[in-house]
Chain A
């Protein structure tokens, strides 16, 4: 069996989108650009 590196994937993983969304929301909250979130 030949040695192979992990397949180069152009698809961005779901994790990266989730982190991007969470960090964006955190920044919007920090800059008071969205109203306080209630539960």
Chain B
């Protein structure tokens, strides 16, 4: 979405487009910083007055403030382009987060994640198609919902739409359903994780495998704990890495039925769909592993990543318009919701199994 917003008016000069981002960027920073300020103020107050109050992370405050603004006064048009950059900050933040992982950990946890993703994907894609058929949804809308709920939400839907030649209406239904479900997951996952007493690693892995959008998965992990947030990003990144293969599978399926163009160069197709920020994440992790950075420098990089995520979490709240989400039909939402519950239960079972046999 941020890509579309940034590249929406190619005729505008680069400087003018950059200037157009400033109001929204300032809004992201103000909302994110307000969240951080509230968290710190509450912590300082409770410490000074020797009272106890549950620690609510800045993540939640930033999202809630964003949600309140977006759904009361609304986000004025002037701010939209800058607010849409939240996805850019998410990706930059993930690359910088690579500094907090040793490459061995990435390969260990990433490998487990990939294996679990492969099992979950196979089962959830099959389930979503059966569900779409039962609810009599259009087949391409079902494909988009399946891709969105199984891999990585909105990015996967945007990647799949042209490849399977789905129409705009189907794509917007699927995106709206996935965004609504992402917002719900954000608040329910930490509650479920706490009630099941999941460890940071197990919870992080679960939210990375089950929550749709990368921004929401990162936020759902960070809401649990800092360590869980780290693992959630790694698991979600492993999931994102498979986006090209799934979209390619759908493109081949729909072209075999004569309803989409055939894919010529499959390697080029996979490279085009591959999320390049994963390579940046691996590079930074490799540099951190070989001792390219000193300890204080690693701390600085981790903090830069936190600042980038602060802007992301503000954007998650600001771009969630509950009224818009309510305008879509109930069927895509119902199919998405049932599919999400299925994916959540399935991945929770897989995480328990991995914890038991592979010792996370």
Residues on A lying within 8 angstroms of B by beta carbon are: 1-6, 9, 11, 13-19, 21-23, 25-26, 29-30, 32, 34, 36-39
Contact = CB atoms under 8 A, between A and B. Distances in A.
Contacts of B23: none
Given A4-B262, A22-B92, A36-B299, A14 B87 contact: yes
B107 interface: no
B175 to A, nearest CB: 17
Nearest to B265: A5
B264 A3 contact: yes
A29 B304 contact: yes
B299 A14 contact: no
A11 B14 CA distance: 13
A9 B162 CA distance: 14
Contacts of B88: 14, 17-18
Interface stretch (B274-282, B316-324, B352-360): B274-282
Interface residues of B, number: 42
Given A19-B276, A22-B92, A30-B292, A2 B261 contact: yes
Interface string B247-283: 0000000010010111111001100100111011001
Interface in B221-254: none
Contacts of A13: 3, 276
A11 B283 CA distance: 23
Contacts, number: 98
A3 to B, nearest CB: 4
B91 interface: yes
Given A15-B91, A18-B91, A38-B303, A3 B276 contact: no
Nearest to B262: A3
A27 to B, nearest CB: 10
Interface of B: 2-3, 6-7, 87-89, 91-92, 95-96, 99, 255, 258, 260-265, 268-269, 272, 275-277, 279-280, 283-284, 287, 292-293, 296-297, 299-301, 303-304, 306-307
A38 B299 CA distance: 8
Given A1-B255, A26-B99, A14 B304 contact: no
Contact of A23 (B95, B265, B296, B307): B95
A19 B97 CA distance: 12
A8 B300 CA distance: 38
Nearest to A31: B297
A1 B6 CA distance: 33
Contacts of A37: 299-301, 303-304, 307
Pick the 7 closest A-B CB pairs, nearest first.
A19-B280, A18-B91, A22-B95, A15-B276, A3-B264, A37-B300, A37-B303
B276 A16 contact: yes
